[in-house]
Chains A and B, each alone.
Chain A
Amino acid sequence: MMPKMNGFDVCQALRADPDLSATRILMLTAKGRDTEVSKGLGLGADGYMTKPFSTKELLAEVRKLLGM
């Protein structure tokens, strides 16, 4: 786990900044429950992946987000 803020807080903080609104956010987390996925997406993450995941999936997801 991250030291001070958790992933949700970071996501929320990033999204609160209008200059960073074009930045894509992909959350990688061990929190896999439905409610947590929903929260992540609700806070403005563009993608949500639960650990464990394969690197291939990660690459595919990143490509999708960057529109490649």
Chain B
Amino acid sequence: MKTARKPVLAATAVCLFLLAVVAATAALMLAGEADGSGGGRTPEERIVALVVLTLAACAVSCWMIFRLYALYVSAPLRMAEELAATLAHGSLRVNAHGAGELQVLGQAANQLLALHEARENDVAERVREARASLEEERSRLAALMADLSQSVVVCNLDGRVLLYNQRAKQELSAGEDGSNAELLGLGRSIYTVFDRALIGHALERLQQASQERAEGDSKQLVGSAQFVTATRAGRLLRAHMSPVLGGNGPHQAQVGGLSITGFVLVLEDVTSTNERHARRDALIQALIEGGRGPLGSIRAAGEMLSDFSDMPSQQRDRFLRVIRDEAAVLSLQFEKAASAFSNDLRERWLLEEILGGELLLVAARRIAERRTSERRALAVKTEDVDDDLWLRVDTFGLLQALRYLALRLQDEYEVREVRLSLTRSGQLAQFDLSWLGTFMNNETAMSWLQDPMTTAGESLPLSVLDVIERCNGEIWFQRERVSHRAFFRTMLPAAEPPKDLPRAIVAAGEGERPEFYDFDIFGWSAASHELDDRSLVELSYTVFDTETTGLQPSQGDEIIQIGATRIVNRRLLRHECFDQLIDPRCRLSQQSIEVHGITRELLVGQPFIDSVLPKFHAFCADTVLVGHNAAFDMRFLQLKEKQTGVRFEQPVLDTLLLSAILHPNQTSHRLEAIAERLGVSVFGRHTALGDAIVTGEVFLKMLPLLAEMGIRTLRQAREASQRTYHARLKY
């Protein structure tokens, strides 16, 4: 029964009751009247009066009932509705209505609401703080990883890469012919780089060890497993594998209390150490083997000559000749070994490579530093600096030595100015510290070089001679009588410029630090293969673009550049990219050169499509391909199937069709137009990589818009694309 009807009914019931009562009274009165005498009023008047009285009474009682209802029934109901509304918005409060008691209740309710709101804000604040500190930790970790001098790769149990640093990327990315094969990437499988069996075996060892420890003392950290393996580029790497112990993530190998959720690989390039050892062994071996023969002969001949001093002269000559020849051979062996060995001596690990010019500048600065306020700073000039000279020295020691000598000159001989020069002399670098004016005799100079370096305040246990010797150099004192110049001349072996200069990273547009980690992938598993039903935002994509010699793939036009980058976990990874020019083995028309700006000279010496396409195929492994007008590029790739044996079977999404789905009424679906529509800045256009990056950003912007249209999985995207394609075909 509706509550609004209740008062009506109640009022009606009361009125009827009153009427009944009054009617009864009236009837009784009339009945009484018939017996006795009246009061002088007619029965009609009496009835009218009674009726008026009844109506008045009814009205009063109705009003009272409705009033009471408003105070005690509808007011609480309203309050209940308002309370219900506060569940949605925590900042609302109930208003005061109704009777005094209800208002008190209302105030109490408001107090509770205020408390609740305060608690909620508190919780939100705590969550914000926790998230911020987590972000900070992550960036610290990222910074640490990025600049480590060792290669580090962190993977989950399925072998998906979660984190790696710049060094790892360099060491693992070189291909056999020195080209860049981007094998390492976030979300990629580590098994493209390392043998699966090797990693599996090491993991087993880890799990075994952790199990054993769990049975014993579960508090100890599990150790590491080691193995040595060769990369595709022919480098030898020693890997330390340590487990990542986790709490309650999915995909664990449950072992005892702690469970392994992933592993960390720390890699060390032992190729050069290995090679050096191998070379040294070979050297010693050669010396021994090469020396035995001649020594044996000399000995034999010598013994013959001494035992048989009265042999005929012809025989004697023969033996003497033997001795001479074999001694010459032995000398030769020695020389060869000596020069080979002296080259090796340069690789002592305490030394570092430094550009000679740089060393000179730093030395000049160090010498010119004022020591105390009384002393004037020494003037230092640099001259004859050879700019291309690399040295392999103990920089700290060398700087100390130079400073010591210069300061001693100032202290004991009042020298005002010194000059530093660096020139090349054959295979050696000649480094001079020279000055004008008074100079010492040879003995003093010698003692300066031999004594431990002590100046006021700073002292080193080494002497200048020790330091120079450590750098495989020689130092001596020389005077030029004619020009009154004296100098300490140092000869050092010149070094090769270091080969591992870091490759330039594709600069992120906003100057952000390239990110090499993604901890969200921790939960990924290799089990789910049905890409079609996967959500679009979860998938990994390879966004690519090609530049070609022309627009007719079936008429002999060829691909001349492939550029690609990856999207993992809704992020465009600008630093994991594929960028390769290809020699098409056919002519380039002038028109096409004007379009893409790639001239014939740029293509000379580039690899052919036969070697590039397999690498590109590896780069796209396990991803969905995305391109602008992808059909065009895919046609080129398909035509090369037979020639290269490479088949692209990944699903393909086309940003042109996706744009047609989203904005069917726009006329232009060119990449620049779409980019402008979606607010993507375009730079570096008409290089394949530049276009790929723009396509990638456009694609990322499209994903939420597609989701709003109900396109969330790959299957839906493909079906919608197909529909749009057919629709466009009609036009």
Cβ of B493 under 8 Å from chain A = yes
Known: A42-B489, A52-B334, A54-B328. A36 touches B474 (CB 8 A): yes
B196-204, B389-397, B423-431 - interface stretch = B423-431
A16 interface contact, C-beta 8 A: yes
Chain B residues closer than 8 Å to A46, beta-carbon distance:
none
Which chain B residues lie closer than 8 Å to A48 at the CB level? Answer: none
Would you give the shortest CB distance from A11 to chain B, in whole angstroms? 10
Greatest chain A CB density within 10 A among B331, B491, B492 is at B491
Which of B327, B446, B473 is within 8 Å of A35, CB to CB?
B473
Give CA–CA (A12, B442) in the complex, Å.
Answer: 7
- Hey, what's the 0/1 contact readout for B474-495 against A, CB within 8 Å counting as 1? 1011110000000001011100
> Which residue in B442, B473, B492, B493 is a CB contact (below 8 Å) of A16?
B442
Tell me which residues across on chain B come within 8 A of A13, comparing CB atoms. Answer: 442
Across the interface, name the chain A residue whose C-beta is closest to B331. A52
Q: Is B472 positioned at the interface, with any CB of A under 8 Å from its CB?
A: yes
Is there contact, CB below 8 Å, between A39 and B441? no
The residues in A between 15 and 43 inclusive whose CB is less than 8 angstroms from any CB of B are 16, 32-36, 38-39, 42-43
B28 lies within 8 A of chain A by Cβ: no
Within residues 66 to 97 of chain B, which ones have a CB less than 8 A from any CB in chain A? none
Q: Name the B residues within 8 Å of A36 (CB-CB).
A: 474
Query: Which residues of B have CB within 8 Å of A54?
Result: 327-328, 331
* Complex contact A34–B476 (CB within 8 A): no
Determine the distance from Cα of A43 to Cα of B428 in the docked complex, in whole angstroms. 16
Q: Which range contains the number of A residues in contact with the other chain?
A: 10 to 19
| Residues of chain B at interface, number, CB under 8 A | 26
Taking a contact as CB atoms under 8 Å apart, the answer to whether B427 and A16 are in contact is: no
- Docked-complex contact A38 and B328, CB < 8 angstroms: no
Q: Which residue of B lies closest to A33 (CB)?
A: B342
Asked whether, in the complex, the Cβ of B442 is within 8 Å of the Cβ of A34, the reply is no
User: Which residue of A has the minimal Cβ distance to B430?
Assistant: A38
Indicate the member of A8, A9, A36, A38 with the most B CB atoms within 10 Å.
Answer: A38
CB-CB under 8 A from B425, the residues of chain A are 38
Q: Bound state CA distance, A50 and B327, in angstroms?
A: 15
Q: Mark B425-451, 1 if CB is under 8 A from A, else 0.
A: 111101000000000011000100000
* A39 near B334: Cβ-Cβ < 8 Å: no
Alpha-carbon distance between A43 and B237 when the two chains are bound, in angstroms? 47
Total A-B pairs in contact (CB under 8 Å)? 49
A43 to B474 CA separation, bound complex (whole angstroms): 12
Residue of chain A at shortest CB distance from B492: A35
- Within B130-179, the residues touching A (CB, 8 Å) are none
Q: Cβ of A35 and Cβ of B491 under 8 Å apart?
A: yes
Alpha-carbon distance between A36 and B469 when the two chains are bound, in angstroms: 11
Q: Say whether, besides A33-B342, A34-B428, A43 and B493 are in contact (CB < 8 Å).
A: no
State whether the Cβ of B338 lies closer than 8 Å to any Cβ in chain A. Answer: yes
Given A12-B442, A16-B441, A54-B328, A34 contacting B342 (CB threshold 8 A): yes
Beta-carbon contact of B427 and A34 below 8 Å: yes
Residues of B within 8 A of A12 (CB): 442, 476-477
Least CB separation from A8: chain B residue:
B476
> Could you tell me if B331 and A43 are in contact, using CB atoms closer than 8 angstroms?
no
CB proximity of A31 to chain B, nearest CB, Å:
9
Residues of B with C-beta under 8 A to A34: 342, 426-428, 491, 493
**Which B residues touch A35, using CB under 8 A?**
428, 472-474, 491-493
In the docked arrangement, what's the CA distance between A52 and B338, Å? 12
Determine the chain A residues whose CB is within 8 A of the CB of B328 once the complex forms.
Answer: 54
**Residues of chain B contacted by A8 (CB below 8 angstroms):** 476
Which residues in B have their C-beta under 8 angstroms from that of A42?
A: 476, 478, 489, 491
The complex places the Cα of A33 from the Cα of B468 at a distance, in Å, of: 14
Q: Which of B330, B428, B477 contacts A38 (CB 8 A)?
A: B428
CB distance from B426 to the nearest CB of A (A): 7
Roughly how many angstroms separate A54 CA and B328 CA in the complex, as a whole number? 8
How close is A61's CB to chain B, nearest CB, in angstroms?
A: 15
Against B, the Cβ 8 Å flags (1 = close, 0 = not) of A36-68 are 101100110000000011100000000000000
The residues of B with any CB-CB pair to A shorter than 8 Å are 327-328, 330-331, 334, 338, 342, 425-428, 430, 441-442, 446, 472-474, 476-479, 489, 491-493
- List residues of A whose CB falls within 8 A of some B CB: 8-9, 12-13, 16, 32-36, 38-39, 42-43, 52-54
3 shortest interchain CB distances as A-B pairs: A39-B474, A35-B474, A35-B491
Q: Sample 13 A-B pairs with CB under 8 A, ordered by A number.
A: A12-B476, A12-B477, A34-B493, A35-B473, A39-B474, A39-B491, A42-B476, A42-B478, A42-B491, A43-B478, A52-B327, A52-B330, A54-B327
